[in-house]
């Protein structure tokens, strides 16, 4: 195995270990610099998570369960695969942005307890994702939408971390530093290609617009209210991105 291929495999492994709870063997701990280097591979890991969710959806359909239950089990499979990593970030961000001063917001986001804003954000995320999936006409469209959502929502994360400075001097975001521009661009290209392959032209265009809107909104909120980004804000961006892609997949283009 040549050096370039070893690097690609190492990045895929690091991204998988960071973004999922899948039992991969790894000799050394994954640090912030490893995650920044491997950030380009996050959309590829999203494909894996989407496929695992699609398998759960197909199994539920095979058992002739109602569409809403099939969709709920597919979302549950993604939660198990990721350990609720991004859901935790969404809830913490919801609570933090509803706080007082910048320092208080960051303090709230580090608190493991969930508040009203975080609970509402999490409930809406689950409801919108499950409802959008349940509205799709069968297992194949649902499987394609799941792959699109998990890959597409992770594609902008490296660029977000590269453009928005860390809000703290410690923590994962600060330790990782900003992903290189080339790797952020690779992630965007992978995400865009996967969106077109899974959703087609019209829906993928709608998905890109929603992803861009989520990116701009969260970047503005993070800079104004927190002075930068944290891992929780990146998790919130992924969740909002998933919702946007699934809504685009469920929309009727007319």
Here the tokens at position 235 are 């998790």
Cβ neighbour number for residue 12 with a 10 Å cutoff: 17
Angle formed at CA 163 by CA 78 and CA 146, multiple of 5 degrees: 20
Q: Residue 47 and residue 27: Cα distance in Å, rounded?
A: 25
Tell me the three state secondary structure of residue 166: strand
Q: Looking at the predicted structure, is the pLDDT value of residue 200 above 90? A: yes
- pLDDT at residue 28, rounded to an integer: 65
Q: Looking at the predicted structure, is the pLDDT value of residue 224 above 80? A: yes
Under the banding of pLDDT at 50, 70 and 90, the label for residue 32 is confident
Q: Residue 238 and residue 232: Cα distance in Å, rounded?
A: 10
Calculate what percentage of the chain has a pLDDT beyond 90. 74
- pLDDT at residue 252, rounded to an integer: 75
Model-level pTM?
0.93
Convert the pLDDT of each residue in 44-97 to its tens digit. Answer: 999 999 999 999 999 999 999 999 999 999 999 999 999 999 999 999 999 988
Least-confidence region, from 35-39, 217-221, 231-235: 35-39
Least-confidence region, from 30-44, 141-155, 161-175, 239-253: 161-175
Q: Taking all residues of the chain, what is their mean pLDDT, rounded to a whole number? A: 92
What are the phi and psi torsion angles at 229 (to 5°)?
Answer: -105, 160
- pLDDT at residue 99, rounded to an integer: 73
The residue-averaged pLDDT of 192-215 equals 97
Convert the pLDDT of each residue in 120-135 to its tens digit. Answer: 999 999 999 999 999 9
The residue-averaged pLDDT of 175-195 equals 91
């Amino acid at each position: 195995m040549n050096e370039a291929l070893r690097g690609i495999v190492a990045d895929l492994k690091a991204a998988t270990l960071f973004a999922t709870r899948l039992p991969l063997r790894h000799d050394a701990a994954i640090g912030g610099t490893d995650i920044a280097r491997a950030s380009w591979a996050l959309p590829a890991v999203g494909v894996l998570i989407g496929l695992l969710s699609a398998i759960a959806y197909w199994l539920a359909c095979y058992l002739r369960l109602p569409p809403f239950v099939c969709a709920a089990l597919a979302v549950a499979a993604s939660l198990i695969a990721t350990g609720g990593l991004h859901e935790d970030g969404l809830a913490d961000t919801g609570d933090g942005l509803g706080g007082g001063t910048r320092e208080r917001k960051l303090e709230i986001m580090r608190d493991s307890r969930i508040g009203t804003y975080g609970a509402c954000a999490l409930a809406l995320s689950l409801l919108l994702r499950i409802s959008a999936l349940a509205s799709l006409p069968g297992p194949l469209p649902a499987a394609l939408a799941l792959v699109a959502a998990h890959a597409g929502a992770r594609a902008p994360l490296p660029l977000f971390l590269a453009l928005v400075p860390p809000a703290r001097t410690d923590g994962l975001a600060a330790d990782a530093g900003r992903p290189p521009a080339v790797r952020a661009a690779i992630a965007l290209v992978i995400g865009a290609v996967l969106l077109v392959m899974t959703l087609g032209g019209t829906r993928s265009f709608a998905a890109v617009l929603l992803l861009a809107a989520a990116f701009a909104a969260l970047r503005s909120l993070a800079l104004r209210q927190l002075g930068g980004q944290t891992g929780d804000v990146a998790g919130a961006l992924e969740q909002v991105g998933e919702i946007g892609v699934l809504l685009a997949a469920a929309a009727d283009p007319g």
